[in-house]
Amino acid sequence: MHLKYESFVREPLVDGDKTYHQVTEDIISPIEKKPGRMWYVGFFFSVTLLLLGVFSVFWEVYYGIGVWGINRTVGWGWDITNFVWWVGIGHAGTLISAILLLFRQGWRTGVNRAAEAMTIFAVMCAGQFPIFHMGRVWDGFFVLPYPNGRGPLWPNFNSALLWDVFAISTYFTVSLLFWYSGLIPDFATVRDRATTKLRKRLYGLASFGWTGTAKNWQRHEALSLVLAGLSTPLVLSVHTIVSFDFATSVIPGWHTTIFPPYFVAGAIFSGFAMVQTLLIICRKILGLEEYITVGHLEAMNKVIVLTGSIVGVAYLTELFMSWYSGVLYEQDAFKWRILGPYWWSYWAMMTCNVVSPQLFWFKKLRRNIPFTFIMSIVVNIGMWFERFVIIVTSLYRDYLPGSWTYYSPTWPEIGFYLGTFGLFFTCFFLFAKYFPVIAVAEIKFVLKTSGDNYKRKMEAIDAKTTEEFKHELDHAHH
Amino acid sequence: MAIKKFAVACYDDEEVLFPAVKKVRNSGYKLHDVYTPFPVHGLDGALGLKETDLHVAGFIYGITGTSTAVGFMSWIFCSDWPINFGGKPHWSLPAFIPITFELTVLFAAVGMVLTFCYLNQIMPGVKKHVFHPRQTDDLFVVALEINDHTNEEEVINFLKSTNAVETSIQVAESEWWFGRWDKKEPYELA
């Protein structure tokens, strides 16, 4: 008797009458078909944006960082804002794949592959900004501790900016390994059903020759679990260290101990919003509504309302602490944030991040797909403004009124930002076309516990009382 | 590298697979391996496989990362090139924590994945015999190693009695080799 049982309170994770083969068919067949017109339109639009970004970066590297709007007072502008924004977005993928694995959240299986891909692409985008902010980018390798001819003179390991180098590169590497180790068995599935020679050859290479023996799977499970265990503190450490870039300084508005948890919550908040944006489109275009169900979207909306509220509490705590500290500079920093020339960014942040996600307390709205889609974009706009508020509105009016200034971006900064969207979506479109967007093996693993048809089979057992069930079970064994 | 003869049985459900594996292990035939499209919990136990020590390797790699980071930073700041950062101690351990943590995770993850690939004998370019193209889709495949003295009919009948949906006799390479997946191997053409 099959005794994998999951409570009926939980809705099925896979809708429709699915067999193992049907799961493979549904998820792999988009790879084998020619992409639709929407894919081509989206892909070429993304590549165009990417080229715009390449041109903007070329302009900045050629003429120097002076072509950006940043100045002596506002040394960090859109560049670092975008860096923190993209890194934050990346956090949802690891949260879904690692933390929810440790918490045994079955719904992660439907969304983890795409979310991890999003993490990797977002970190790639994030990395561009500090690199090109260096100005003389050809000297960028100076951040690495290698035996050099200058002494050797080492980088300062006590600097939060150097911690960032290690955190981001480790995060990228580990996420990539985690993601790829999960992809190996799925690539083998694509390979074994491939009908064209080219596909057979390429997916044969990509699958590393995986055949799925019992021992291989045992090691695979052990690897996934340990990588999840490693990624969990890693993802928390990354945005903590990003927040140290600010918190270890002496700038009013930055020098605060609340930053690490506040940044991590904000990162998860924006990351889940980006996952929603992508998956709502993906499930529609690739026809994966039965795998990425409304239940999945609702679960993520719950995370959004939780982390959005944490972020809201953090904003209010910051305000209270600036007043309570009694420090004039702290108080003024916050006064200028709310009422100064950048008031619009503060209020955009407050509206998008604190007020609007509260609508997700209503179940109807949590399960409403168009509303979720709009909210996911609103949240990411809000989170962009949060980083802008933290960075620019802490810097533009500093200790000396004589150096107060106003900062606006120039076209190479805007082009650079749009270019990272191009990079992100170019990668994502290629991923959606050539990779299994949903973890095939993992879905099969949860199918019998959480598949719609299998759950329905359990209804008869569920109707019985415990005594009846125990009696029958004992009987069946004797 | 060795070309061997196999008796192959395919099952369409893990619930059929478990009793079949039990019968195969009791039958006296030499079990080559079991292939499944996804991790089947309890199968390693049913096959009598030991728990993997991969996580122990991960721990050792992690510790290596920790000591590399602490050792390297301590050596640089205390001995190789001591710099005075605002009068702070040269050996400022709390400031070393972030990089130490990152390197611990990095070493553990990279080391474990490489060990995983080594133990499973997988890497780009590696090829292995696939007994059934649907073993990565929806079939659970049991391969028995047989030789020229084995009564083939008897094996097949035995496998059929374990509720296999498909059975076959195959001559195939038993180990991995470097090859292209879009090309057939000489033994497949013979």
Q: Give the pLDDT confidence of A234-268 residue by residue, as tens digits.
A: 999 999 999 999 999 989 889 999 999 999 999 99
Domain count, chain A: 2
CATH number of the domain to which A266 belongs: 1.20.1630.10
Q: Given 3-state DSSP classes, what are the helix, strand and coil percentages for chain A, each rounded to the nearest 5?
A: 75, 0, 25
pLDDT tens digits for A277-305?
A: 999 988 888 888 888 888 889 989 999 99
Which is it for the CA torsion A110, A114, A115, A120, positive or negative? positive
Q: Residues 6 or more apart from A478 whose CB is under 8 A from it?
A: none
CB B170 within 8 A of CB B131: yes
Contact at CB, B109 and A152, closer than 8 angstroms: no
The H or E element that residue B11 is part of is: strand B3-11
**A45 and A7, same structural domain?**
no
**A4 and A53, same structural domain?**
no
Is 50 exceeded by the pLDDT of residue B45? yes
pLDDT tens digits for B163-184?
A: 889 999 988 888 899 989 988 8
The proportion of chain A whose per-residue pLDDT surpasses 70, expressed as a percent, equals 97
Contact at CB, A21 and B122, closer than 8 angstroms: no
Min CA distance, B145 vs chain A (Å)? 15
Contact at CB, B136 and A189, closer than 8 angstroms: yes
pLDDT for A2: 47
**A2 and A51, same structural domain?**
no
pLDDT for A446: 83
pLDDT for A45: 95
Whether A352 is covered by a domain: the verdict is: yes
Residue A208 backbone phi and psi in degrees, to 5: 60, 15
pLDDT for B1: 67
Which residues from chain B sit within 8 angstroms of residue A167, using beta carbons?
Answer: 98, 102
pLDDT for A1: 38
What pTM value is reported for the model? 0.92
Q: Is B65 on the interface with A (CB under 8 A)?
A: no
When CB atoms are compared, the residue of B37, B62, B109 closest to A444 is B37
Contact at CB, A233 and B105, closer than 8 angstroms: yes
Contact at CB, A157 and B105, closer than 8 angstroms: no
Whether A27 is covered by a domain: the verdict is: yes
Mean pLDDT for the stretch of residues B126-148: 91
The span from the CA of B132 to the CA of B166, in Å, is 10
Min CA distance, B116 vs chain A (Å)? 7
The span from the CA of B65 to the CA of B58, in Å, is 11
Whether A10 is covered by a domain: the verdict is: yes
**A282 and A186, same structural domain?**
yes
**A471 and A332, same structural domain?**
no
The span from the CA of A471 to the CA of A457, in Å, is 19
Residues 67-86 of B with CB under 8 A from A: 72-73, 76-77, 80-81, 83, 85
Whether A456 is covered by a domain: the verdict is: yes
pLDDT for A131: 94
Whether A151 is covered by a domain: the verdict is: no
**A84 and A63, same structural domain?**
yes
CB B148 within 8 A of CB B45: no
What range defines the domain where residue A477 resides? Answer: 1-18+451-478
**What tokens were used for B154?**
């008897």
pLDDT range class, residue A4, cuts 50, 70, 90? low
pLDDT tens digits for A189-227?
A: 999 999 999 999 999 999 999 999 999 999 999 999 999
pLDDT for A477: 59
**A174 and A86, same structural domain?**
yes
pLDDT for A13: 79
Residue listed under structure tokens 């192959």: B8
**A463 and A371, same structural domain?**
no
Mean pLDDT for the stretch of residues A360-368: 93
**A13 and A42, same structural domain?**
no
Which residues from chain B sit within 8 angstroms of residue A152, using beta carbons?
Answer: 80-81
Contact at CB, A209 and B123, closer than 8 angstroms: yes
User: Which amino acid, residue A282?
Assistant: C
Q: CA torsion, points A191, A194, A196, A201, in degrees to nearest 10?
A: 10
Min CA distance, B137 vs chain A (Å)? 6
Whether A94 is covered by a domain: the verdict is: yes
Q: Which residue has the higher pLDDT, B189 or B112?
A: B112
pLDDT range class, residue A18, cuts 50, 70, 90? confident
Count contacts between A and B (CB, < 8 Å): 201
pLDDT tens digits for B58-97?
A: 999 999 999 999 999 999 999 988 888 888 899 989 999 9
Mean pLDDT for the stretch of residues A394-422: 92
The span from the CA of A308 to the CA of A266, in Å, is 7
pLDDT range class, residue A60, cuts 50, 70, 90? very high
Query: Measured over all CA atoms, what is the biggest interatomic distance in chain B, rounded to whole angstroms?
Result: 85
Q: Residues 6 or more apart from A13 whose CB is under 8 A from it?
A: A106, A107, A109, A110, A293, A295, A296, A446, A450, A451
**What tokens were used for A390?**
């933290």
**A461 and A330, same structural domain?**
no
Min CA distance, B119 vs chain A (Å)? 8
User: Which amino acid, residue A457?
Assistant: K
**A466 and A348, same structural domain?**
no
Full 3-state SS string of A168-231? HHHHHHHHHHHHHHHHHHHHHHHHHCCCCHHHHHHHHHHCCCCCCEHHHHHHHHHHHHHHHHHH
Whether A76 is covered by a domain: the verdict is: yes
Contact at CB, A208 and B99, closer than 8 angstroms: no
The span from the CA of A279 to the CA of A466, in Å, is 40
Is 70 exceeded by the pLDDT of residue A6? no
pLDDT range class, residue A456, cuts 50, 70, 90? confident
Residues 3-32 of B with CB under 8 A from A: 15
The residue in chain B having the minimum alpha-carbon distance to the alpha carbon of residue A206 is B124
The residue in chain B having the minimum alpha-carbon distance to the alpha carbon of residue A165 is B99
- The CB-side HSE value for A139 (13 A sphere, CA atoms) comes to 6
Which residues from chain B sit within 8 angstroms of residue A19, using beta carbons?
Answer: 138
Whether A208 is covered by a domain: the verdict is: yes
The H or E element that residue B172 is part of is: strand B166-173
Helix axes A369-395, A259-285, angle to 10 degrees: 150
When CB atoms are compared, the residue of A158, A189, A215 closest to B49 is A215
Q: Residues 6 or more apart from A419 whose CB is under 8 A from it?
A: A49, A50, A51, A52, A53, A54, A56, A57
Mean pLDDT for the stretch of residues B14-28: 89
pLDDT for A226: 93
Residues 457-476 of A with CB under 8 A from B: none
**A463 and A417, same structural domain?**
no
When CB atoms are compared, the residue of A154, A160, A191 closest to B81 is A154
